[in-house]
Amino acid sequence: MAQFHQTFFEESFEGLDIMENELLNLDVGNADNESINTIFRSAHSIKGGSGTFGFTAIAEFTHVAETLLDEMRDGVRQVDQVSVDLLLKSVDVMRDMLTVYKDGGDMDADNIAAVQTELENLLGAGGSSTSADDSGSTTENTASAGWIISFKPHVEMLRTGNDPIRMLHALSELGEIEVVADISELPTFADFNPEDSFISWEITLTGDIKKEDVTEVFDWVEDECDLDIKPIASESESPAFESSETTPADVEASSTKQPAAKQAAAKKGGGESASIRVGIDKVDEIINLVGELVITQSMLGQIGGEIGSDADHNSNRMEKLLEGLAQLERNTREIQESVMRIRMLPISFVFSRVPRLVHDLSGKLNKKVELVTLGESTELDKTVMEKIGDPMVHLVRNALDHGIETPEQRLEAGKPETGTLTLNAYHKGGSIVIEITDDGAGVNKERVLNKARANGLVGENEVLSDDAINDLIFNPGLSTAETLSDVSGRGVGMDVVRKNIKSLGGSVRVDSVEGKGSVFTIQLPLTLAILDGQLVKVAEETFVVPLVSIIESIQVKAENLNGIAGKADLYKLRDEYIPVIRADHVFGMSNSQASLNDRLMVVVEGDGKKAGIIVDDLLAQQQVVIKSLETNYQRVDGLSGATILGDGTVALILDIAGIIDMFKEKSAPVPPAPKGNGTDSDIADEAA
Amino acid sequence: MASILAVDDSASMRQMVTFTLKGAGYDVTEAKDGMEALQIAKSNSYNLVITDINMPNMDGITLTKELRSLPTYKFTPILTLTTESSADKKMAGKQAGATGWIVKPFNPDQLLATVKKVLG
């Protein structure tokens, strides 16, 4: 049976999504029948499947939820907010249970029981208990020397596809059988209709046979025949089984008492589908191998180019070789892209969590919110997707809690009563951009600034640009505590959101206009497996600087350099000052204090902070395959990974934000470099 | 060998039914709802139809009624897949002309036993 589990999980999770969606869209008080039907059907399928595949806990729980849905479907129960919310909760419980069955772990038995009790309470005291009817242990071991069965099919029995002969045959397998046919009702040939049934039988069945085995033979036709089953009169007769009636309970008890499951015989399966499921580890393995292939290919290309340039005596064959290498490069590139696409999933996987969140939160906060989602089919890497969910949900929470105002406040501010939350995703270069826009109150700059001043994050007289003030909300020390609530005040702050996004190589920023709303913009790399990098040379070693973090590369001019005594250099780049980082120092490759004049400096930005990294040479720009240092060695501060270059050497990939942080620690306490207009008095004085 | 039309909107149930019956040598065709089943049934003939009841587009009860109204399927055994709790569903199936039912949840052995019972 296990071979069907994967399909079962897949369709059940889909079913739960359907249920959730339909429940959220349900017009409470005036529910659409088709929607209720759809919800019911999903629950019903999950129940059926989970029972069949042995996930009894889900089957039992779902049964109760299904009963509630059944009542709604039959119009016995109003579709009200209370039941819809409870059903949504049930969906969560079912999803959790499925996840536990699928991935292992522990069931939250308390929660399951609590929700089930709520359901049962709603259904009323008489709420049909889950397993009352299916564990019917009416083990009626009624055996006798045999049975006398009077079987008279109704005229129309054949028309349900039931053949009396089949039943006689089945009875004959139970014991010794003697059959007497009564053909007295048989009409004359002229009146004979072959579609009707006219014969009745008197059957004597002898042997040690349970009554339920006999009734089971007739269970489908109890309404289509006159049936009388009596024990053969004998000394064993007892009043206990005088009754010859077949009750539904008997039928059910017998049909569930089949022998335990054995393995189905053959090995040929019959699954057809337009997609196949494969383990992510297999895909990762291919990606890894393709990575190796890319390296091998670029190595060959490099050697080919070198040989080609000094081998004109054999030029014809050489040309062919170079052509072949060029084709290899194209093919390799295409394979790499195709393989990368396997891991790509539409962002709707993450967006789909939001409607429910908005529903629950707006209810809790008494706010009216309309959710708009755009660009749901925008694809990104599965790994990135899995990690962006939580930060994004946090930003949505934040927008609902702190952004969008209550209907009263909105009306007062001359806005429509219902606020709008927009999720938008689109590709931009090698990144995916996710925007979370609300038309709420916006960031209260004054309050943020006051708070930052009180915490010593911003100097008393420091003047900050609007952007810089907005950016303060990502600072760990800055939670506008007076608005802390149980909705977003869960101990996870904006700083954690930024940290998590940063760890994915992405960035987050906020633009906000007071009274009009805010836009949170998350920018993420499409994949964590490859990276567009600038190769640079530092003290004979090659490093990779992620292209996304490079702003420009310049030649250092001594007059723009300002040394802070014994600490760090600052470089005046147009109207701002950026710290100068000597990569060779950071990685302990040299301690040279040689003048920086005329040296090359790559200006980078990581986590909103700019810095200049001094390098010896700028080499090629190329796409590199990221190899994890953690997996192959250990984490190293300032490095995000490594790659293998065409010539086979290993190059380390710089973690720009990490290096800037390291540098800050080493050279602390350097006053925070002013962002934007650079009016910070301390530094301006130093520079002067 | 006997041919069977298996109708269920749940892919895992279809897989399980098909796997079991094919393993026993039956010729199995799948349909994902009543509508699809009816269409397939009209251009073929089957010795047995096994159908789920709750399905989108066309449910198993309607399918049964529709099939019974076709000359080819007047006497063809039709089994409904039904859950324990819905005794009235079994009856609804019977009233629509179904031969019998298989109670969910069932395991492959139970399914095979029932099918053998009907097809002999």
pLDDT at position A266 is 35
pLDDT digits (tens, 9 = 90+) for A12-57: 999 999 999 889 888 777 778 888 888 998 998 898 888 888 888 8
Domain contains A680: yes
How far apart CA A217 and CA A673 sit, in angstroms, is: 88
| Cross-chain CB nearest to A248 (options B13, B87, B100) | B87
β-pairing verdict for A419-428 and A431-438:
antiparallel
Q: Which residue has the higher pLDDT, A142 or A95?
A: A95
- pLDDT, position A669: 44
pLDDT digits (tens, 9 = 90+) for A323-335: 888 899 889 888 8
**Nearest to residue A80, comparing CAs of A45, A28, A123, A156?**
A28
Measure the CA dihedral A505/A634/A530/A555, to 10°: 70
Helix H, strand E, coil C: the string for A176-213 is EEEEEEECCCCCCHHHCCCCCCCCEEEEEEEEEEEHHH
Smallest CA-to-CA distance from A84 within A159, A26, A161, A154 is with: A26
Closest partner residue to B85 (CB to CB) among A41, A49, A63 is A63
H/E run at residue A497: helix A494-503
Cβ–Cβ contact A223 with B under 8 A: yes
- Rounded average pLDDT over A267-294: 70
Domains of chain B from N-terminus onward: 3-115 (3.40.50.2300)
B91: contact with A, CB 8 A cutoff: yes
pLDDT for A567 equals: 59
Minimal CA separation from A603 to chain B, in Å? 56
Which pair of tokens denotes residue B12? 């895992």
pLDDT by residue (tens digit) across B84-114?
Answer: 656 777 788 888 899 988 888 888 888 998 9
| Whether A69 and A209 share a structural domain | no
Give the phi and the psi of residue A231 in degrees, each rounded to 5.
-70, 150
Lowest mean pLDDT among A114-118, A148-152, A568-572: A568-572
Residue A262 domain flag: no
The reply to whether A333 and A419 lie within a common domain is no
Interchain pair A270, B68: CB under 8 A: no
Same domain, A178 and A81: no
Same domain? A245 vs A296? no
Q: What does the pLDDT read at residue A76?
A: 82
DSSP A29-96: TS--HHHHHHHHHHHHHHHHHHHHTT-HHHHHHHHHHHHHHHHHHTTSS---HHHHHHHHHHHHHHHH
Tell me which DSSP letter residue B6 carries: E
- What's the longest Cα–Cα distance across chain A? 124
Residue A246 lies in a domain: yes
Distance between CA A257 and CA A259 in Å, rounded?
Answer: 6
Nearest to B109 among A170, A223, A259 (CB): A259
Q: What DSSP assignment string belongs to A313-371?
A: TTHHHHHHHHHHHHHHHHHHHHHHHHHHHHTEEETHHHHTTHHHHHHHHHHHHT--EEE
SS3 call for B75: coil
pLDDT band of residue A259 (cuts 50, 70, 90) is very low
Does A673 lie in the same domain as A636? yes
Same domain, A480 and A516: yes
pLDDT digits 0-9 by tens, A519-536: 999 988 877 777 888 999
Phi, psi of A192 (to 5 degrees): -70, 130
Beta carbons of B76 and B64 less than 8 angstroms apart: no
* Residues of A whose CB is below 8 A from B76: 161
| DSSP state letters, A84-136 | HHHHHHHHHHHHHHHHHHHH-----HHHHHHHHHHHHHHH-TTPPPTTTTTS-
Lowest mean pLDDT, pick from A235-239, A435-439, A645-649: A235-239
Query: Which of B7, B19, B22, B119 best tests the A interface by mutation, with the highest count of A CBs <10 A?
Result: B19
- Tell me which residue of A94, A220, A230, A108 sits closest to A166, measured CA to CA: A220
In percent, the amount of chain A with pLDDT more than 90 equals 13
Do the domain assignments include residue A263?
A: no
Q: Is position A391 within any domain? A: yes
What number of C-beta contacts closer than 8 Å exist between A and B? 146
Residue B105 preceded by cis peptide, ω within 30: yes
Cβ–Cβ contact B103 with A under 8 A = yes
How many residues comprise chain A?
688
- Separation CA A678–CA A675 (nearest Å): 6
Residue A613 lies in a domain: yes
* Residue A685 banded pLDDT, cuts 50, 70, 90: very low
Q: Would you state the pLDDT for residue B34? A: 94
Q: Best of B12, B15, B55, B76 to disrupt the A interface by mutation (most A CBs within 10 Å)? A: B12
Instruction: Inform me whether the pLDDT recorded for A239 exceeds 60.
Output: no
Q: Considering only A482-491, A541-550, B2-11, B66-75, which range has the smallest mean pLDDT?
A: A482-491
Looking at chain A, which residue has its C-alpha nearest residue B29? Answer: A270
- Whether A494 and A556 map to the same domain: the answer is no
Residue B100 at interface with chain A, using a CB cutoff of 8 Å: yes
Q: Is the pLDDT of residue A497 over 50?
A: yes
Local confidence band at A260 (pLDDT 50, 70, 90 cut-offs): very low
A624 bridge partner residues = A531
> Which of residues A498, A525, A552 is at a domain's end?
A525
**Long-range contact list for A281-284, CB < 8 A, 24+ apart?**
A283/A339, A283/A342, A283/A343
> What span, in angstroms and rounded, lies between the C-alpha atoms of A19 and A33?
14
Above 50 in pLDDT, residue A105?
Answer: yes
Would you place residue A127 in the very low, low, confident or very high pLDDT band (cuts 50, 70, 90)?
A: very low
Confidence bin at A565 (pLDDT 50/70/90): low
Is some CB atom of chain A closer than 8 A to the CB atom of B5? no
Phi and psi at A209, nearest 5°, equal -120, 135
CB A258 within 8 A of CB B109: yes
pLDDT band, very low/low/confident/very high, at A236 (cuts 50, 70, 90): very low
Q: Distance (Å) from the C-alpha of residue B70 to the closest C-alpha of chain A?
A: 12
C-alpha to C-alpha distance for B55 and A613, rounded to whole angstroms: 64
Q: Chain A window 50-69: which residues touch B at a Cβ cutoff of 8 Å?
A: 51-53, 59, 63, 67
Domain containing residue A453: CATH number: 3.30.565.10
CB A205 within 8 A of CB A214: yes
* Cβ contacts of A1 on chain B, cutoff 8 Å: 16, 107-108
Nearest CA among A289, A276, A144 for reference residue A209:
A144
pLDDT tens-digit map of A449-485: 888 888 777 877 778 888 888 888 887 766 554 444 4
High-pLDDT (> 70) share of chain A, %: 83
DSSP B13-47: HHHHHHHHHHHTT-EEEEESSHHHHHHHHHHS--S
Identify the weakest region by mean pLDDT among A122-136, A599-613, B79-93: A122-136
Q: Residue A667 — very low, low, confident or very high, per pLDDT cuts 50/70/90?
A: low
Average pLDDT score over chain A:
79
The answer to whether the CB atoms of B120 and A169 lie below 8 A apart is yes
How confident is the model over A276-290, as a mean pLDDT?
82
CB within 8 Å: A1 and B16: yes
Q: How confident is the model at residue A234 (pLDDT cuts 50, 70, 90)?
A: low
- Tell if the CB–CB gap between A268 and B23 is shorter than 8 Å: yes
Q: How far is A182 from chain B (nearest CA, A)?
A: 23
The minimum CA-CA distance between A153 and chain B, rounded to whole Å, is: 14
Output the domain CATH number for residue A40.
1.20.120.160
Residue A394 amino acid letter: H
Q: What's the mean pLDDT when you consider all of chain B?
A: 89
Q: Give the type of residue at A84.
A: V
Give the tens place of pLDDT for each residue, A240-256.
Answer: 444 444 444 444 443 43
- Return the higher-pLDDT residue of B36 and A569: B36
Chain B residues with CB inside 8 Å of A160's CB? 78, 94, 97-99
Name residues 201-220 of chain A within 8 A of B (Cβ): 219-220
Cβ–Cβ contact B1 with A under 8 A: no
CATH number, residue A159: 3.30.70
Q: Report the C-alpha gap between A395 and A434 in whole angstroms.
A: 11
User: Are residues A100 and A214 located together in one domain of the fold?
Assistant: no
Measured distance CA(A243)–CA(A659) in Å, rounded: 88
More confident residue, A431 or A133: A431
CA-to-CA distance for B57 and B39, rounded, in angstroms? 13
Looking at A123, A153, A168, the residue that finishes a domain is A123
Which of A7, A38, A51 is facing B15, going by the closest CB pair? A7
Alpha carbon of B44: minimum distance to chain A alpha carbons (Å):
18
Counting runs of H as helices and runs of E as strands, what totals does chain B give?
Answer: 5, 5
Give the amino acid at A56: T
* Residue A566: predicted pLDDT: 54
| Domain edge (last residue) among A342, A365, A389 | A342
- Cβ partners under 8 Å of residue A415, min gap 6: A405, A439
Buried/exposed B77-87: b ≥16 CB within 10 Å, e otherwise: bbbbbbbbbbe
User: What is the domain extent for residue A28?
Assistant: 2-123
A134: Cβ–Cβ under 8 A, 6 or more apart, which residues?
A: A252, A256, B84, B85
Better-scored residue on pLDDT, B77 or A295: B77
In a domain, A275, yes or no: no
Statement: residue A268 has pLDDT above 50: no
Query: Rounded CA gap, B72 and B42, in Å?
Result: 8
Partner A, chain B 23-42, Cβ-Cβ below 8 Å: 23-24, 28, 30
Query: Contact at 8 Å (CB) between B43 and A79?
Result: no
C-alpha to C-alpha distances, A174 to A135, A213, A235, nearest whole angstrom: 25, 8, 22
Q: How many domains does chain A have?
A: 5
Which of A149-153, A304-308, A635-639 comes out lowest in average pLDDT? A304-308
Q: Which range is least confidently modeled, A7-11, A248-252, B15-19?
A: A248-252
| Axis-axis angle for helices B108-119, B11-23 (nearest 10) | 60
pLDDT at A650 exceeding the cut of 80? yes
A40 to chain B, closest Cα gap in Å: 9
The pLDDT value given to residue A137: 41
pLDDT digits (tens, 9 = 90+) for A365-408: 889 899 999 998 888 888 888 888 888 888 998 888 888 999 99
Whether residue A3 is predicted with pLDDT greater than 60 in this model: the reply is yes
DSSP letters along A599-633, please?
-EEEEEEETTEEEEEEESEEEEEEEEE-B-HHHHS
pLDDT of residue A558: 83
Question: CA-to-CA distance for A120 and A390, rounded, in angstroms?
Answer: 33
Question: Residue B100 contacts by C-beta under 8 Å, 6 or more apart in sequence?
Answer: A162, A219, A220, A221, B77, B79, B80, B94, B114, B118
Edge-to-edge strand order for the sheet containing A143-153? A176-182, A200-210, A143-153, A225-231
Say yes or no for a CB contact (<8 Å) between B99 and A161. yes
Give the model's pLDDT for residue A386: 83
Residues A368 and A517 in one domain: yes
Q: Does A128 touch chain B (CB under 8 A)?
A: yes
Which range is most confident: A244-258, A296-310, A632-646, B82-96? A632-646
Q: Check CB contact of A40 with chain B, cutoff 8 Å.
A: yes
Domain membership flag for residue A274? no
Regarding whether A520 and A414 lie in a shared domain, the answer is yes
Residues of B in Cβ contact (< 8 Å) with A10? 11
Beta bridge partners of A174: none
Verify whether the Cβ–Cβ distance A265 to B15 is below 8 Å. Answer: no
Nearest to A160 among B55, B99, B104 (CB): B99
CB < 8 Å to A271, chain B: 15
Are A369 and A328 in the same domain?
A: no
* C-alpha to C-alpha distances, A300 to A184, A291, A336, nearest whole angstrom: 95, 14, 17
**Whether A332 and A351 share a structural domain:** no
